Amino acid sequence: MNALILVLFGIYLLSRTVVKPINRLVSVTERYDGAIPKLQKGEVPNNEIGRLSQSLNRMLRQLDANERELKENILSLKAANAEIRKSRDEMVKSEKMASVGRLATGVAHEIGNPLGIILGYIELLQRGDLTGFEREDFLSRMESEITRIHRIIRDLLDFSRPATAEQHHSNAHEILEDVLAILSPQPLFEKIHIQRSLQGESVIVKLAEDSLKQVFLNIMINAADAMDDFLPGPEGLPEPTLTIESFNEEGFLIMRFSDTGCGIGPHEIKRIFDPFFTTKEPGKGTGLGLSICYTMVDQAGGGIHAESKPGRGTTVILHIPLR
Ligand SMILES: Nc1ncnc2c1ncn2[C@@H]1O[C@H](COP(=O)(O)OP(=O)(O)OP(=O)(O)O)[C@@H](O)[C@H]1O
Ligand SMILES: [Mg+2]
Which amino acid belongs to residue 103? L
**Top-confidence residue, 128 or 138:** 138
Which amino acid belongs to residue 113? N
CA of 188 to the centre of ligand 1 (A): 15
* Residues in contact with ligand 1 (CB, 6 Å cut-off): 95, 98, 218, 222-223, 226, 259, 261-264, 272, 277-280, 285-291, 314
Q: Are residues 74 and 184 in the same domain?
A: no
Q: Which of 80, 115, 147 is the last residue of a domain?
A: 80
Q: Which of 19, 49, 80 is the last residue of a domain?
A: 80
- Phi/psi class of residue 277: alpha, beta or left (left: φ > 0; alpha: ψ in -120 to 50)? beta
CA of 292 to the centre of ligand 2 (A): 10
Is residue 159 in a domain? no
Q: Which of 49, 80, 111 is the last residue of a domain?
A: 80
Return the sign of the alpha-carbon dihedral for residues 259, 260, 263, 266: positive
Strands 193-198 vs 241-249: parallel, antiparallel or unpaired:
parallel
**Top-confidence residue, 105 or 250:** 250
User: Which of 192, 272, 315 most suits a substitution to test ligand 1, by most atoms within 8 Å of the C-beta?
Assistant: 272
Q: Which ligand is nearest to the CA of 304?
A: 1
Give the least confident one: 195-199, 231-235, 298-302: 231-235
Q: Are residues 174 and 47 in the same domain?
A: no
* Percentage, residues of the chain above pLDDT 90: 39
User: Which of 278, 281, 297 most suits a substitution to test ligand 1, by most atoms within 8 Å of the C-beta?
Assistant: 278
Question: What is the pLDDT, as a whole number, of residue 252?
Answer: 97
**Top-confidence residue, 34 or 183:** 183
Question: What is the pLDDT, as a whole number, of residue 250?
Answer: 94
Structural domain count of the chain: 2
Question: What is the pLDDT, as a whole number, of residue 43?
Answer: 61
Q: Whose CA is nearest to atom 7 of ligand 1?
A: 222
Asked if residue 34 has pLDDT above 70, the reply is no
Is residue 320 in a domain? yes
Band (pLDDT 50/70/90 cuts) for residue 7 is confident
CA of 321 to the centre of ligand 2 (A): 23
Q: Are residues 177 and 54 in the same domain?
A: no
Q: Are residues 178 and 323 in the same domain?
A: yes
Q: Are residues 178 and 303 in the same domain?
A: yes
Is residue 139 in a domain? no
Give the three-state DSSP class for 248. Answer: strand
Q: Which candidate, 303, 299, 301, places its Cα nearest to that of 92?
A: 299
Q: Are residues 74 and 188 in the same domain?
A: no
CA of 242 to the centre of ligand 2 (A): 15
Is residue 199 in a domain? yes
CA of 209 to the centre of ligand 1 (A): 22
Give the least confident one: 194-203, 221-230, 262-271: 221-230
Is residue 52 in a domain? yes
Residue 206's domain comprises 169-323
Asked if residue 189 has pLDDT above 70, the reply is yes
Is residue 241 in a domain? yes
From CA 120, how far away is CA 118, in angstroms rounded? 5
From CA 86, how far away is CA 81, in angstroms rounded? 9
Asked if residue 118 has pLDDT above 80, the reply is yes
Q: Are residues 272 and 175 in the same domain?
A: yes
Question: What is the pLDDT, as a whole number, of residue 159?
Answer: 66
Q: Are residues 187 and 312 in the same domain?
A: yes
Question: What is the pLDDT, as a whole number, of residue 261?
Answer: 94
Question: What is the pLDDT, as a whole number, of residue 215?
Answer: 92
CA of 322 to the centre of ligand 2 (A): 25
Question: What is the pLDDT, as a whole number, of residue 222?
Answer: 94
**Top-confidence residue, 13 or 189:** 189
Q: Are residues 66 and 193 in the same domain?
A: no
Is residue 137 in a domain? no
**288 Cα nearest atom in ligand 1:** 26
pLDDT digits (tens, 9 = 90+) for 162-173: 655 556 899 999
What angle (nearest 5°) sits at the alpha carbon of residue 159, between those of residues 153 and 163?
A: 135
Length of the chain: 323
Question: What is the pLDDT, as a whole number, of residue 233?
Answer: 57
From CA 162, how far away is CA 237, in angstroms rounded? 38
Q: Phi first, then psi: give them for residue 204, nearest 5 degrees.
A: -85, 115
Question: What is the pLDDT, as a whole number, of residue 40?
Answer: 59
Q: Are residues 323 and 216 in the same domain?
A: yes
SS3 per residue for 162-180: CCCCCCCCEEHHHHHHHHH
Q: Check which CATH number belongs to the domain holding 315 and give it.
A: 3.30.565.10
Question: What is the pLDDT, as a whole number, of residue 163?
Answer: 57
Q: Whose CA is nearest to atom 28 of ligand 1?
A: 278
